[in-house]
Structure 1
Amino acid sequence: MQTKWAAPAIASLAFMPAAHAQSTMTLYGLIDEGITYVNSAQTGKAGGQLTGGPQFALTDGHATGVAGSRWGLRGAEDLGGGLKANFVIENGFMANTGAFAQGGAEFGRQSYVGLSNDSGAVTIGRQYDPLVNFVQPFAASGTWAGYMGSHADDVDNLSNTNRINNAVKFTSASYGGFRMATMYSFGGVAGHTAQNQIWSVAGGYTGAALAFGIGYLNARNPNVSFYGSTPNKGSAAVNNIGSFGSATSPQAYPVYAGYASANTLEIIGAGMSYTFGGTIVALSATNTRFDHLGSSAGPNPLGYTGSAAFTSIDLNARYRATPALQLAMGFDYTERGSVKGDDGAKYLQLNAGIDYSLSKRTDLYVLVAAQRASGTDSLGQPAVASIAGFNPSATDKQIAFRLGAMHRF
């Protein structure tokens, strides 16, 4: 009897994998390297005056390029009934040195796991916030100008300077071109549920020619929860946003580094684009507020109180001249109102880019950015130009150039 059933039973084993859930895994990445020039980069201070000079350097795309070098694994498992398990782990690295990017985090770009079905996906881990997902595609920095095309010091985070830890995120499926997403990041402080929490909500529409998006982000104790989300950052006792510099070191993020004591960070943004022929014209606007300055969230050496609010406007266009050649140009303007009786600050930046595709995976490109600053910046000094990815200028003007190569795999 046992022999009679043995052969059919053994034969059926050959077909069992077809009845099991199907899994996929993809290794992907890109390398973006380039030679950069900037006419003025700070080196420190002497006699109370900022010092600096021109600089040539070989840098990774994380610093000044179109896209930061990375590698990642993306996987999915079909659990049946339309349900799937998904994960992404993505490492950012500096191709010119081999070092980790994102402050030394091994998977600092993204690391999450989740479930999805026809309605959408729920994911948990380190992720992009919905504001970035839905508004970044309309900014020059999110499409062709890279990090150096950010609004001054990436004040509104549209270039993803900061990602969100400890986050639960829901992203809907597309319904007639409309999608939405919401996120909550746990602060994890015993007895203080709201401390260090972050939440965000956003939505948008993508059609054949017209697309638009809008989003909002709210971060409590942002010096720790938002700007302190990488291994090289510290507690509320230190400034995780930037640096006031020293006699032998440059400042960092002078546009808003002085506001580390904010109790709350709020960013709201919206953007839209229209495509006609080979041209895409895009417009975006954001408002970034550092509220309740003077809290215990971070140091406050200049004694700020109240709020600091930045408004940024970005108008850009790109034209596909041939299947291989893209030409692009953009203008962005950032303005901050008065804080503690100062005269506010203004930053005007022009961006231009040329991209030539040698193949579907390899590009050569040129980027140029020029910025002029005026007023008084967050460090209480005459505002200096500060193109994202470079050391701030020693003056109110800064011009940067990059010749880069990017390969995807």
Structure 2
Amino acid sequence: MKKAIFVLTAVGSIAGTANAQSNVTLYGLVDAGLAYANNVGGQKLYTASSGNIQGSRWGLRGNEDLGGGLRALFVLENGFNPYTGRLNQGGDEFGRQVYVGLTSDGYGSVLLGRQYDSVVDFTGQLEAASQWASLYGGHPGDLDNMNNTNRVNNAIKYASANYHGLTFGGLYSLGGVAGNFNRNQIWSGGVNYSQGPLTLGAAYLNIKNPNYSFFGNNASSSATATNMSGSQVYSGFASAKTQQVIATGVAYAVGSATLGATYSNTQFRGLGETAVTGLPSGSPKSGDAKFHNVEANFKYQLSPALQLGAAYDYTKGYSVTNEKIHQAILGSDYFLSKRTDLYAVGIYQHASGKNSFGANATAQITTLSPSSSQNQLAAIVGIRSKF
């Protein structure tokens, strides 16, 4: 009996030690609501809309203490539509992100897998859409990926430790095409500084053959046709050899108010140099398509439970495109608890000039189909609960 008690005590002690040195956490959120648009192809639209403020997800996060300040870690994160139960991100099982790596408090992390690029990591949180304005309030078509529409496959990422508010990092994605080292290659880098009321961010992203490597990197993607069909702002530029994004952002808190701004320059270079089937005849066959985007945003914590927001966004195309887009956003977020909130967002957009197909531009709020006119108005209400 004494031997049995000793064995049980020893096993319990070992299990307790293992539990203290490693852990796995289940986490996630469900975000669902209703959306209205005044003009989608000339008709009013009422629809069930999910993942508005944040994409609905569940995931597993784990780490193991290896000693000497070194830890192993992993993340598996699935995106889904709560209205249908279907997978998001083109049907990928863990389409949001999945990676494994090593991390040190003093030196940072090295991670391998499907991951976020540096624009998302270092400037994305400074855009209104990533805070309170919903994915509908993203920059047109999320052309600069600040709202994290696209992930990066085959990625090797370094993320630094936090040095008194300063963080930096970079990502490189192997193209994986035999005999062509540069095809489908992606790399990015960025830096962020956050101290007291001030946050600053800057990042660079370079994507080879974006139609396949960035927009077409999930289970439902085409290996020959266009995968850039989400927005007429850039859909005609799927034949680009390279997409480049330079992004910066700033936020400054004054009492209950936070003032913010972002700027991005997005370029689709070398049009016609990537073979793509199914592009409309009006799509440009050569040259570069370039965009400036400027956003000013404001949020105010009216009470511990209620947050209000406002933003204005301007997009200007140049070089082979001259499309101009003005967008105004108002929103509110009411927190029933730390985990559950109710939100309402309204977006108005006006477009002019020529779109990426060379046709007269019509308004197209992100995630919606184009309006039949230069204007489009949308309103979204919903609930988000985290676990």
TM-score by length of 1: 0.90
Could you say what secondary structure the match of 2:211 adopts? helix
Distance 1:126 1:12, change over 3 A: same
Q: Distance in 1 between matches of 2:17 and 2:97?
A: 32
CA contact (8 A) 1:222 1:297 kept: no
Kindly indicate whether residue 379 of structure 2 is the aligned counterpart of residue 401 of structure 1: yes
- Give the SS at the match of 1:389: coil
CA deviations 1:178-210 (Å, max 9, x no partner) are 000100001011111111110000011011111
Name the aligned partner's letter for residue 124 of structure 1: L
1:321 aligns with 2:302: yes
Identify the residue that residue 189 of structure 1 maps to in structure 2: 177
Coordinate RMSD, CA, aligned: 1.8
CA distance in 2, matches of 1:78, 1:291: 45
Q: Match of 1:385?
A: 363
Equivalences for 1:326-337 in 2 at 5 Å? Answer: 326-337=307-318
Equivalent positions of 1:168-183 (< 5 A) are 168-183=156-171
Is 1:239 paired with 2:201? no
8 Å Cα contact 2:288/2:319 also seen in 1 = no
Q: Is the 8 A contact 1:263 1:297 kept in 2?
A: no
C-alpha distance in 2 between matches for 1:338 and 1:129: 26
Paired residue total: 381
Q: State the match for 1:86 in structure 2.
A: 73
1:96 is aligned to: 83
Indicate whether 1:373 and 2:354 are aligned.
no
Structure 2: give runs of 5+ residues left out of the alignment: none
Q: What secondary structure is seen at the aligned counterpart in 2 of 1:16? A: helix
Is 1:113 the counterpart of 2:100 in the alignment?
yes
2: distance between equivalents of 1:356 and 1:396? 32
Show the counterpart of 1:16. Answer: 14
AA matched with 2:360: P
How much does 1:298 deviate?
Answer: 2.6
Q: Which amino acid aligns with 1:171?
A: A
Q: Does the Cα contact within 8 Å between 1:90 and 1:111 map onto a contact in 2?
A: yes
Structure-2 change in CA distance of 1:387 and 1:81 (3 Å): same
- Structure 1 match to 2:47: 57
1:202 counterpart = 2:190? yes
Q: Paired residue for 1:28? A: 27
**Is the CA contact 1:266–1:289 (under 8 Å) kept in the aligned structure 2?**
yes
Q: Deviations over 1:270-302 (max 9, x none)?
A: 001101101111110000000011112434543
1:283-294 matches, within 5 Å, as 283-294=261-272
Hey, what's the Cα distance between the residues in 2 that align with 1:338 and 1:19?
62
Counterpart of 1:345? Answer: 323
Contact map agreement 1:316 1:328 (CA 8 A) in 2 = yes
Give the conservation status (yes or no) of the 8 Å contact 1:221–1:297: no
Report SS of the residue matched to 2:363: coil
Compared CA separation, residues 263 and 22, structure 1 to 2 (3 A): same
SS in 1 for 2:29: strand
User: In structure 2, how many angstroms separate the alpha carbons of the residues matched to 1:408 and 1:172?
Assistant: 28
Shift in Å at residue 22 of structure 1?
Answer: 1.3
Which AA in structure 2 matches 1:56? Answer: Y
- 1:306 corresponds in structure 2 to 287
Contact 1:224 1:297 in 2 (8 A): no
> One-letter code of the match for 2:288?
S
3-state SS in 1 of match to 2:289: strand
Residue number in structure 2 paired with 1:49? none
Q: 1:93 to 1:6 in 2, by over 3 A?
A: closer
Contact residue 135 and residue 271 of structure 1 kept, 8 A: yes
Measure, in 2, the Cα distance between the counterparts of 1:103 and 1:15: 46
AA aligned opposite 1:114: G
3-state SS of paired residue (2:180):
coil
- Residues 267 and 287 of structure 1 are in contact (CA less than 8 Å); yes or no, is this contact kept in structure 2? yes
Query: Counterpart of 1:255 in 2: which secondary structure?
Result: coil
Instruction: After TM superposition, give the deviation of residue 394 of structure 1 in Å.
Output: 1.5
Mapped partners of 1:11, 1:388: distance in 2: 59
Task: Deviation per CA, 1:342-390: give whole Å up to 9, x if none.
Answer: 6x11000001101111111111110000000000000211101111111
Secondary structure of 1:293's counterpart equals coil
Structure 2 counterpart of 1:222, one-letter code:
P
- Give 1:147-158 correspondences, 5 Å limit: 147-158=135-146
Match of 1:247 in 2: none
Which residue of structure 2 lines up, in the alignment, with residue 282 of structure 1? 260
CA-CA distance at 1:392 after TM superposition = 1.6
Measure the CA separation in 1 of the matches of 2:4 and 2:239: 74
What is the deviation of 1:83?
0.9
Residues 237 and 284 of structure 2 are in contact (CA less than 8 Å); yes or no, is this contact kept in structure 1? no
Instruction: State the AA in 1 paired with 2:336.
Output: L
Superposition deviation, residue 213 in structure 1: 0.5
